[in-house]
Amino acid sequence: MMDFLAVAYPWIKSVHIMAVISWMAALFYLPRLLVHHTERVGLEGETHTLFTMMEYKLAKVIMQPAMIVTWICGIALVLTPGIVDWSNVWPWTKFVGVLGMTAFHEWLMARMRGFQVGQNTLTGRQYRMMNEVPTLLMILIVLSVVVKF
């Protein structure tokens, strides 16, 4: 198995990067949809139904599969011999960042489900503030991997 991972490493890493890009795009866009849903649409009517469908498809067709592929490829990369030295700090900071990103993903999924049933307790401003979370986590993750602090 380890020989396979070593040979497949560039392919796994490539798929991992593509999945991360897709996941991040969705994590950036879904809060923006929720801002507009909150401020301009409300919780009923034809436009509400349209926004609910757009949010659902973004979350279920793009965001969820991209997160799953990101995790699968990330685990495969970690298991590849010679790639990660867990005695360094950077793998742990990256891991914490990825766990934070996953928690944010689940938080967004819960907000999306709330809109589906006509419930929302947050303001547009709060969604805008939460939209900064993936940016901060991305900075932590990229610096961890590239700078290896």
**Tens of pLDDT along 95-126?**
999 999 999 999 999 999 999 999 999 999 99
CA–CA separation, 60 vs 93, rounded Å? 28
Q: Is the pTM of this model over 0.75?
A: yes
Q: How far is CA 19 from the centre of its chain?
A: 10
Q: Where are the domains of the chain?
A: 2-146
pLDDT tens column, 50-88: 999 999 999 999 999 999 999 999 999 999 999 999 999
For the chain, give the longest Cα–Cα distance: 56
Other CB atoms within 10 Å distance of the CB of residue 118: 11
**CA–CA separation, 127 and 111 (whole Å):** 10
